[in-house]
Amino acid sequence: MTTLNFDASTDPILERRRAIQNAAATSLGRRKISSRIAIGICWAFLAIAIVPLVAVIAYVVVKGLPAWNTDFFTQSTVPEGIPGGGVWNAIVGTAEIGFFATAVTVPIGLLCGLTLAESDGNIAAAVRFTADVMTGMPSITIGIFGYIAIVKTTGKYSGLAGAFAIGFIMLPVIMRAGETAIRGVPRDLSEAALALGARRATIAHRVLVPAALPGITTGVLLAVARGLGETAPLLLTIFGNQYLQWNPTKPMEALPLVIYNNSSQPYANLLQIAWGAALLLMVVVLVLSVGSRVLAVVLQRERR
Amino acid sequence: MTTLETPPPGRAKRGNRFALPNGAYRGLLAAMGAIFVGLVAWFIISMIVQARPAFSTLGFSWIIQKTWDPTHNKYGLLPFILGTVETTAIAMVLALPIGLGTALALAYLVPHRVRQGLSSAVELLAAVPSVVYGLWGLIVLAPLFREDVEPFLTSILGWTGLFNGPNEGVGLLLAGIILFVMVLPTMVAISRDVLAVVPSEQVEGAMALGATRWQVLRKVVVPGARTGILGAFTLATGRALGETVAVALVIGNSPYIAHSVKSTASTLPALIVNNFGEATGTELSALFGAGLVLLLIGVTVNAVARVLVRSAARSGAASMAVA
C-alpha cells in the first residue's frame, strides 16, 4: 500500500487519514486470516448439518427396502414371536384417517382462509395469531384433546378420534396457507368481478379460489404430509389394532404406530417391519411434499 | 347495420348457481371462523377441566415436587420439566451455531447452481416424520453412543462432572442430539430466508469499505437479520420442547432427575405418552396436568416466536415458507 507524502503534522485531517490507512493495512492480514477461518467453520457446519440428515434417509432406505415384499403389503401386523407379518392393516388405517381428516378440514380451512384474507380487523388479527400459535403446539397436547373430546365422550378408541386430532393439527396450517394464497390474487381481478355486479360468494368461488389454486394445493398437500406423519396424537386416540379394520368407529392401526411399537422389539421380523413402515411413510410424505411443489409449478404454468 | 351480439342468456346466469346473498356469505365465513375459534377454546378449556382434579387433590406444589411414584400417590413433575428443558437446551446449544452457520453458507457461500436445490432439500427434511428419527436414534445411534461416543466424550470432558455414570447409549445426550437433528431444518430454512433478504446495498457498501467476507456476514448480514434469526430459534425451541415419540424412544424413560448428561431421564411429552394407556384416577388427571403445563409452555414459546418472525417480516425480511 502506497503512503501519501504530506507533511502530516501540519494538517489534522491528513494525519487522521494516514492513521486509518495504516490501521487498515496492518490489520488486513489478520482480518483475512480470521475471515478464512470463520468461513471455513461455516462450511464445516454445513457439512455437519448434512451428514445426519443424509444418514437418516440412507439408513431408512437400506434397512427398509428388504422388508418390502408381498406379505408386507398384504398381511396384517403380527404379535411378538410370530414370524412374518405385514402392515396392510396400518396402511388402511393411515389412509382412512388421512382421508377423513382431509375431507373435513379442507373445506373448513379454506373458508377460514377466505375469511382471514378478506378481513383486516382486530378480530381477524387475533384469529390469525391463534392459528399461527396452534401450528407450533406440541402434538401430544392435541392428542390429549382428541382423547377428551372423542374417546372419553364416545367411550371407545376409534379411527375417527385419530382423524379428529390429525384434522385439528392440519386445520391452522390449511387456514394460513389458504389465506396467503388468496391474498396473492391480484386485487384487479376481484374488483373487476365486483364491478360486473358479482356477489361476494361468486367472486370467491369463480375468481379467488381458482386463481389461488396453486398455492392452495401446495398448502393442503403439505398439511396432509404433516398430518400423516404424526404419531403421538394417534397413540392416545386410535389405540392400535392387530387386525384389519375398515370401520373407522373402531380402534385402528396406523403406520407411525407400527414404527413406534416395533422399534423397541427384540424380534428381527418386527424390527424389519418397522424399517419397512418407516420407508413407506417417508416415501408417502416426501412424495406429497415434492408433489405439491411440482403441482403448484404445473398449475401456474397452465394459466399463462 | 351491425347489432351488438348479446351473450347467450344461460352463460351469464351460470355464475350465480352457488351464489349466496352477500349477507349469508359473510355469515357462512364468520361461522367457519367461529368453528376454529370454538375448537381452540374447547381445546384449552377441556385441558383445564380435566387437569383440575389433580390441582384440587394435590395442591399446586405437585408441579415442582421431585418424586413421580403413582403407587404411593406421588405425582411430582419436576424431573420431567427438567428433562424437557435439558434435552431442549442440548439441542438448541448445537442448533444455534450450526444452524446459523449452515444458513449463512446456504445464503451466501454455496455456488448459485446448487443453492436452490440444497435449500429445497433442507426444507423437505423438515417433513420427515419424527417417529422415523426416533427409530434411527434407537437402533443406529444408541449402540454407537454406548460403545464409542460416550466413552470418548467422558475421556476428554469427564473433568466437568457432566459425564459421570455408566455409558448407556440412551439418555439425555442422545435425546438432545436427536432433537438437534430434527429442529435443524426449521432453524436453517427460516434463518436462510431472513439472511438472504438483507438489502444488497448494505452488503455491497460494506464490501466497498474493504470489509472481508466474514466481516460482511458478521457485522452487516447477521445483525440485519437478527430478529428473524431469533424467531427461527424460538420456533425451533418450541418444536424441541413438544417433541414426543422421538424423545420417548431414545431417552430411557426414567422418572428421576438426571445427574449426568448420560443418565436416562424423561420429558413431559414422554411421560404422558408412556403412562396414558394404564393411568386412572388421580394419575390420569396428573397426566392431564402435565399436558396443561406443556400447553402453557407451547403457547408462550410459539407466541413469542410468531411475534419475532412477524416483526422481522414487517421490516422487509422473512418469508412464511416454513411454518
pLDDT at B29: 86
Residues A200 and A266 in one domain: yes
Q: What is the pTM of this model?
A: 0.88
Beta bridge partners of A252: A239
Residues A59 and A188 in one domain: no
Grid cell, residue A47, equals: 457439512
Please tell me if residue A144 touches chain B, with a CB cutoff of 8 Å: yes
| Average pLDDT in chain A | 88
In CATH, the number for domain B78-314 is 1.10.3720.10
Residue ranges for chain B with pLDDT beneath 50 = 1, 10-13, 15, 317-323
Using pLDDT thresholds of 50, 70 and 90, give the confidence band for residue A64: very high
B209 vs A160, residue with greater confidence: A160
Position A7 pLDDT exceeds 60: no
CB contact under 8 Å between A263 and B135, yes or no, is yes
Grid cell, residue B36, equals: 376454529
Please tell me if residue A267 touches chain B, with a CB cutoff of 8 Å: no
Answer with the one of A66, A90, A107 that is the final residue of a domain. A66
Domain count for chain A, please give it. Answer: 2
Nearest CB partner across the interface for B102, out of A49, A281, A288? A49
B102 vs A75, residue with greater confidence: B102
pLDDT at B323: 37
Q: pLDDT tens across B26-37, in order?
A: 888 888 889 999
Residues A178 and A274 in one domain: yes
pLDDT at B101: 94
Measured in whole angstroms, the distance separating CA A197 from the mean position of its chain's CA atoms is 40
What is the mean pLDDT of the segment spanning A109-128?
89
Please tell me if residue A264 touches chain B, with a CB cutoff of 8 Å: yes
Q: pLDDT tens across A30-56, in order?
A: 888 999 999 999 999 999 988 888 899
What ipTM score was computed for the predicted complex, to two decimals?
0.86
**Chain B residues touching residue A206 (CB < 8 angstroms):** 15
Residue type, B198: V
Residues A292 and A184 in one domain: yes
Residues A41 and A129 in one domain: no
Q: What's the CATH code of the domain at A281?
A: 1.10.3720.10
Position A66 pLDDT exceeds 50: yes
Asked if residue A131 belongs to a domain, the reply is yes
**Chain B residues touching residue A42 (CB < 8 angstroms):** 101-102, 104-105, 109, 217
Q: Label each residue of chain A as H, E or C.
A: CCCCCCCHHHCHHHHHHHHHHHHHHHHHHHHHHHHHHHHHHHHHHHHHHHHHHHHHHHHHHHHHHHHCCHHHHHCCCCCCCCCCCCCHHHHHHHHHHHHHHHHHHHHHHHHHHHHHHHCCCHHHHHHHHHHHHHHCCCHHHHHHHHHHHHHHHHCCCCHHHHHHHHHHHHHHHHHHHHHHHHHCCCHHHHHHHHHCCCCHHHHHHHHHHHHHHHHHHHHHHHHHHHHHHCCHHHHHHCECCCCCCCCCCCCECCHHHHHHHHHCCCCHHHHHHHHHHHHHHHHHHHHHHHHHHHHHHHHHHHHC
Residues A53 and A137 in one domain: no
Residues 221-260 of A with CB under 8 A from B: 222, 225-226, 228-232, 235-236, 256, 259-260
Please tell me if residue A208 touches chain B, with a CB cutoff of 8 Å: no
pLDDT at B244: 93
Q: Which residues contact B162 (CB under 8 A, 6 or more apart)?
A: B260, B261
Asked if residue A94 belongs to a domain, the reply is yes
Residues A62 and A208 in one domain: no
Residues A184 and A233 in one domain: yes
Asked if residue A1 belongs to a domain, the reply is no
CB A237 within 8 A of CB A147: yes
Whole-angstrom distance, CA of residue A163 vs CA of residue A276: 23
Answer with the one of A21, A37, A66 that is the final residue of a domain. A66
Asked if residue A225 belongs to a domain, the reply is yes
Residues A26 and A102 in one domain: no
Q: Which residues contact B154 (CB under 8 A, 6 or more apart)?
A: B163, B167, B262
Sketch the domain layout of chain B as residue ranges.
78-314
Domain of A188 in residue numbering reads as 68-303
Residues 65-124 of A with CB under 8 A from B: 108, 111-112, 114-116, 118
End-to-end CA distance of chain B: 62
Residues A160 and A292 in one domain: yes
pLDDT at A231: 92
Position A282 pLDDT exceeds 60: yes
End-to-end CA distance of chain A: 57
CB contact under 8 Å between B249 and A232, yes or no, is no
**What angle, rounded to 10 degrees, do the helices at A88-118 and A159-183 form?**
40
Whole-angstrom distance, CA of residue B167 vs CA of residue B64: 29
Asked if residue A168 belongs to a domain, the reply is yes
Lowest mean pLDDT among A155-169, A207-221, B150-164: B150-164
Whole-angstrom distance, CA of residue A70 vs CA of residue A155: 37
CB A107 within 8 A of CB A174: no
Asked if residue A3 belongs to a domain, the reply is no
What is the mean pLDDT of the segment spanning A245-267?
89
**Chain A residues touching residue B188 (CB < 8 angstroms):** 49
Degrees (nearest 5) of the Cα angle A148, A152, A157?
105
Residues A110 and A233 in one domain: yes
Residues A112 and A194 in one domain: yes
- For residue A227, the chain B residue with the least C-alpha distance is B129
Q: Residues of chain A with pLDDT > 70: what percent?
A: 96
pLDDT at B3: 55
CB B299 within 8 A of CB B108: no
CB B66 within 8 A of CB B79: yes
Beta bridge partners of A85: none
Whole-angstrom distance, CA of residue B300 vs CA of residue A145: 19
Q: pLDDT tens across B87-141, in order?
A: 999 999 999 999 999 999 999 988 888 888 888 888 777 888 999 999 999 999 9
